[in-house]
Amino acid sequence: MAKAARQLQSSAAGSDSITVNPYIKELLHLPPRTNLHGHALVKKGDVFMQDLSSCLPVAALAPPPGATVVDACAAPGNKTTMLAARVGSGGRVVAFERSSVRAEALRTTIRKAGAADIIATVEEDFTESSPQDERWHDATMVLCDPSCSGTGDAERSHPSQLAADTRLPREKVAALAADQKRIVLHAMRLPCVRVVVYSTCSVLREENEDVVEAVLREASEWRVAACLPDWPQRGQSAQATENSDEDKAAPSDVDSSSSSSNGANKYSIAAACIRASRAQQTGGFFVCRFEKADSAAGDSASSKSGSKKKKRKKNRKKRKATADKEAEVSTVGNTSAATSFKSERAQEQQSAPKQQQQQGTPQQQHAPHNTSQQPQKKRRKK
């Protein structure tokens, strides 16, 4: 990241410095009007340009290194390659795309990012796939970013057109919402999945919070979870306006005791989900994180069990130390597993260090540019 920032600084507009996004660690902010089109790093695929809002779903999913993740609606591939950077060389990303034309665009993005060894492209409709298929039955996380009205793009690029765009035919919005719900519910049917993130580039409640409520009514074992708790703009309640206090409620304000059995309490949905807008100098976006109810309990039980085992082991060592009259007994803790893609590859291939990659798509000139860290390319053997 530091090396890429130094190389990009010479192209930054004005005297402003390139900064790291406070919410997304692999995202660099470039000053407004910075032009990277034709830059060497962009041509080589070492750096991609992408809007801040479109990086939020991957940050909300937060897959750990080594995870197996499904991208249910992958093309053109910016989020897909960002997922690959997160899971690293020990993980897998299964990318679905039902359109043959868009699937080819997806493969192009994957090749440019050098992530073909991590990402497997499946050219079919995700909702028609078998949850038990051995190619993805062990996936624990799914990213669902389906087709939507695109009204969030209008909010950023053409705010004067937003009012007209939000008056789309009711039948069209209803059809989009039905398809969005169907995709999320199918993701929840995968046997090992415990986390599903749903996102749209829409500002319409019908495609956002209403879809979340509809999903929870049919998936009683799932609940909404706090999504990027430090993000300043939360979701909308049924009665709230964009500037109401309820919209800005932090996840810690959620009263889970007042929620229904499946967590479909309208206030908790608004507080747990996030929205992005021009207030953050980005496009309109919505993100919700679903978690299977047993996963939180399982994590808690595993943590308690692990603590007890550590305590028993420590007591045994103390007794042995006393019996043997040893001067001192010390233990060494495990190193963190949350290593970056770059450091992991560097350890595996020290003889052939590679540059770290970043992802993105061009964004509007009036908003800060962003670049995101991406997987490294493999060096071809000659």
* Residue 382, Cβ density class (10 Å: 0-12 exposed, 13-18 middle, ≥19 buried): exposed
User: How many other C-beta atoms are found inside a 10 Å radius of the C-beta of residue 158?
Assistant: 11
* pTM for the predicted model, two decimal places: 0.74
pLDDT at 173: 96
CB 146 within 8 A of CB 175: no
Backbone angles phi and psi of 42, in degrees to 5 = -70, -40
pLDDT at 236: 92
pLDDT tens digits for 254-283?
433 334 445 456 668 999 999 999 999 899
* Per-residue model confidence as pLDDT tens for the chain (382 residues): 666 677 777 666 655 678 889 999 889 888 888 888 888 888 887 888 889 999 999 999 999 999 999 999 999 999 999 999 999 999 999 999 999 999 999 999 999 999 999 999 999 999 999 999 999 999 999 999 999 999 998 766 555 555 555 568 999 999 999 999 999 999 999 999 999 999 999 999 999 999 999 999 999 999 999 999 999 999 998 765 444 444 444 454 443 333 444 545 666 899 999 999 999 989 999 999 999 987 654 454 444 445 555 555 555 555 545 444 332 222 222 222 222 333 344 444 444 444 444 444 334 333 445 666 565 554 444 4
pLDDT at 189: 98
The C-alpha atoms of residue 85 and residue 372 are separated, in whole angstroms, by 9
Q: In whole angstroms, how large is the CA radius of gyration of the chain?
A: 22
User: How many other C-beta atoms are found inside a 10 Å radius of the C-beta of residue 176?
Assistant: 22
pLDDT at 92: 98
The CATH architecture annotation of domain 52-297 reads: 3-Layer(aba) Sandwich (3.40)
DSSP-assigned letter for residue 180: H
DSSP string for residues in 335-361 = PPS---HHHHHHHH-TTS----EEE--
Long-range CB contacts for residues 349-356, cutoff 8 Å, separation at least 24: 352/379, 354/378, 354/379, 355/3, 355/46, 356/1, 356/3, 356/4, 356/46
pLDDT at 186: 98
Bond into 169 cis (ω within 30) = no
Backbone angles phi and psi of 367, in degrees to 5 = -110, 155
pLDDT at 157: 59
The residue whose two tokens read 């591939």 is 77
Give me the catalytic one of 55, 201, 227, 273. Answer: 201
370 bridge partner residues: 29
CB 140 within 8 A of CB 192: yes
Catalytic annotation on 201?
yes
Give the residue from 29, 50, 59, 52 showing the smallest Cα distance to 284: 52
Residue range(s) occupied by CATH 3.40.50.150 in the chain: 52-297
285 bridge partner residues: 276
